[in-house]
Structure 1
Amino acid sequence: MSPSSTGPWGAAGVDPADHRFPCEACGAAMRFDPARGLLLCDHCGNTAPLAEDKAPPAIRELDFQTALEAALPASEMEETRISRCPNCGAEVEFDPDIHATDCPFCATPVVIDTGTHRHIKPRGLLPFSIDEAAAQEAMRDWLGSLWFAPNGLARYARRGRRMQGIYVPYWTFDAETRSRYRGERGTVYYETRTVMRDGKPQRVSVQRVRWRGVTGRVARFFDDVLVLASTSLPADHTDGLAPWDLTALTPYSPDYLAGFRAEGYQVPLEEGFTRARAVMDAQIARDVRFDIGGDRQRIHAIETDVSAVTFKHVLLPVWLAAYRYNGKSFRFVVNGQTGRVRGARPYSTIKIALAVIAGLILAAIVGYVYAMQGG
């Protein structure tokens, strides 16, 4: 590729397979340094500003219906070299000179192939804000807070095993919605009744609800409804990394991927919007309940017209560590923007058994002391 050519990532002189930028001083590969927000050469210490620092363009939304009809301009599409993990299905880009490695998502050995993936280009990303050292510290703090963790897990944390910086794919959706609803508004009131208690009459208040049928309309504009476009990580892992500050989204530039990996999206656009609609519908139902008012609400029907749907493909930063313990894969994920940690963890059966035994002994001692005092 000549220095003036434009690759499938839309950036001049960048190999999309590895996102490496040669250092002008020594020729070694540079990487994006989250701590300083620039490109850094670990070999000679040379730094370089990001290309987007010069004149960052605006992040443009794409029309959803045009994409469904496969009518997006060719400039919005790209083809990248990926390897698919046989265990978790992750599709991740790897350096072309690497032939075998471990999957960053589940630690399964992967033989690098030369498969390609044609997909919609990313429009924006959240750059890594914390570096690997900060991510490891956050993970160690989280692991140290776990009860009944095997000692091997603590040793794993102390070793400071390398973490992978992964840009995970997401969809965001914008939409105008107008909804008509039919339901009931409930007003709470109380009736006083006489009841017999212990053979004596007593006056008590009994709660009742008076229902009245209502209809109405609500409208809401949804901005950047976020949907995970990866199936490589459990939902509780990724959901637990929220919230993300999407106001910090930066127009996509390969500079930010230097030294990191990027996962291709596995959730198709149409399926992504179906998931976004579930989020929208839940919010619309809350809007309807607020609009109905009263003390209680019943919703019988909601009809929603959705228009002006736009979307974008974005990449969010995740530090990831995967390891195998007793034949099983366990993963830790760290929000590369905030340092929030989530993950799977094994339990030590020995520690749990000792805790149960200690609890039984303590209960026996308490029972003995109580019996002696009672005697």
Structure 2
Amino acid sequence: MSDIPPPPPTPEETHRFPCEQCGADYRFDPDKGTLTCDHCGHTIAMQDEGERIRELDFRAALNDQLPAQEIEETRTASCPNCGASVEFDPATHAVECPFCATPVVADTGANRHIKPRAVLPFSWSERAAHNAMNDWLGRLWFAPSGLKDYARKGRRMQGIYTPYWTYDADTKSSYSGQRGTIYYVTRTVMVDGKPQQRQVQKIRWTPVSGRTARFFDDVLILASRALPKRYTDALQPWDLSHLIPYSPEYLAGFRAEAYTVPLDEGYGEARAIMDRTIERDVRFDIGGDRQQVHRIDTTVSDVTFKHILLPVWLAAYKYRGKTYRFVVNGQTGRVQGERPWSAWKIAFAMILGALVAAGLGYIIAQNQ
């Protein structure tokens, strides 16, 4: 995607909101769904304006023709270790990367990017996410006890709004192939010198062609490279029906990661998902017992997209010189992460298994 033209000068968003009573910062409270001041306890209810979440035109974005109000400037820095693009507020100059615990220093440049159109607010609090992570760690076999103890010391987790693209598209496909129908014929075969009749499976192939159509709604593509995709994919499913129009108040007290996967690259991933779905539709349309697909020609139209933010609780722990990362779905509490292996626990289990096998063998031998 080519560079996006700079928008008119606007105040930089800081995602910090001063308390009406004491001047300290509000934060969004997932348990109450309000802006809450940790200093004096004052709360503000979030306003539900009922605004419809608009999609943006994909081709207009590729041609740098989005309206200026769809573009924003933020201050970000790239982590030298994992490549995460971390957003800073003007008063912050250095932080620890929430994805890998590497120190990150803010630069002086601004990053222009497409504004988020929607956000899925955190519904799991930090305490609940921490408990979910500890439960997950407790179920790991052969993990060093020291890591579990280290993680349970209560070190804070970082709430991160992770960027995603969603794509909508209308597709119409024509195809050609063959439908296979299974039938059986009787054959006489010789078994131990004696003739026996057997049923032999055959397939009758018939040429077919046809058309299918499907509208794709909200094909979800991760727009970040900070975490291994196998972890973020494992956090699914997300219930996108709870998306609400983007408002910076929901980011109060949290960090937001800028997207690093360009819009057109994300669309390439979305098309691969669409193509697999279309092939399944074609096979269903061909019918029969077996299918062969020779050709699928797909026309894609009315492609739209939106940039959305999904909630993730993240902990990065350095244990014995190595960083281990844990992620918790901020909507459902689903946990994924990296784990080390305890060599002595594995060795002990192998020795114990060998002793049990030897004991069973001895008992069996004595009984015989």
TM-score range, shorter chain: over 0.9
Shift of 1:373: 1.6
- 2:212 matched residue in structure 1: 218
**TM-score scaled by length of structure 2:** 0.95
Deviates more, 1:101-110 or 1:215-224: 101-110
Whether 2:26 is the aligned partner of 1:30: answer: yes
Shift of 1:116: 1.7
Cα distance in structure 1, aligned partners of 2:107 and 2:61:
29
CA distance 1:9–1:320, shift in 2 (3 Å): farther
Shift of 1:9: 11
Shift of 1:372: 1.6
Which residues in structure 2 correspond to 1:22-101 (within 5 Å)?
22-50=18-46, 52-53=47-48, 55-101=49-95
Determine if contact 2:60/2:66 at 8 Å carries over to the other structure: yes
1:180-205 deviation digits (Å, cap 9, x = unpaired): 00111000111111222233222111
Which residues in structure 2 correspond to 1:158-169 (within 5 Å)?
158-169=152-163
- 1:4 matched residue in structure 2: none
Determine if contact 2:12/2:73 at 8 Å carries over to the other structure: no
Shift of 1:157: 3.1
Cα distance in structure 2, aligned partners of 1:335 and 1:141:
14
Structure 1 runs not aligned, ≥5 long: 1-6
What secondary structure does 1:86 align onto?
coil
**TM-score scaled by length of structure 1:** 0.94
Which residues in structure 2 correspond to 1:219-368 (within 5 Å)?
219-368=213-362
Determine if contact 2:118/2:246 at 8 Å carries over to the other structure: yes
Cα distance in structure 2, aligned partners of 1:113 and 1:152:
37
Instruction: Among all aligned residue pairs of Structure 1 and Structure 2, give the percentage whose two residues are the same amino acid.
Output: 66
The one-letter code of the counterpart of 1:36 is K
Match of 1:144 among 121, 138, 148: 138
Cα distance in structure 1, aligned partners of 2:141 and 2:193:
54
Cα distance in structure 1, aligned partners of 2:325 and 2:196:
61
Shift of 1:279: 0.6
Match of 1:195 among 189, 197, 203: 189
Shift of 1:101: 2.4
What secondary structure does 2:188 align onto?
strand
Cα distance in structure 2, aligned partners of 1:278 and 1:289:
17
What secondary structure does 2:345 align onto?
helix
Determine if contact 1:164/1:320 at 8 Å carries over to the other structure: yes
Determine if contact 2:165/2:306 at 8 Å carries over to the other structure: yes
Shift of 1:39: 0.2
The one-letter code of the counterpart of 1:175 is A
The list of structure 1 runs, each at least 4 consecutive aligned residues, that deviate by more than 4 angstroms after superposition, is 7-10
Determine if contact 2:12/2:74 at 8 Å carries over to the other structure: no
Shift of 1:159: 1.2
- 1:371 matched residue in structure 2: 365
What secondary structure does 1:178 align onto?
strand
CA distance 1:137–1:108, shift in 2 (3 Å): same
Q: How many residues align?
A: 362
Determine if contact 1:30/1:259 at 8 Å carries over to the other structure: yes
Cα distance in structure 2, aligned partners of 1:79 and 1:113:
14
Cα distance in structure 1, aligned partners of 2:298 and 2:40:
59
Root-mean-square deviation over aligned CA pairs: 1.6
Determine if contact 1:9/1:254 at 8 Å carries over to the other structure: no
Determine if contact 1:8/1:78 at 8 Å carries over to the other structure: no
Whether 2:121 is the aligned partner of 1:121: answer: no
Cα distance in structure 1, aligned partners of 2:189 and 2:358:
46
1:59-82 deviation digits (Å, cap 9, x = unpaired): 111000000001111111011001
Determine if contact 2:221/2:266 at 8 Å carries over to the other structure: yes
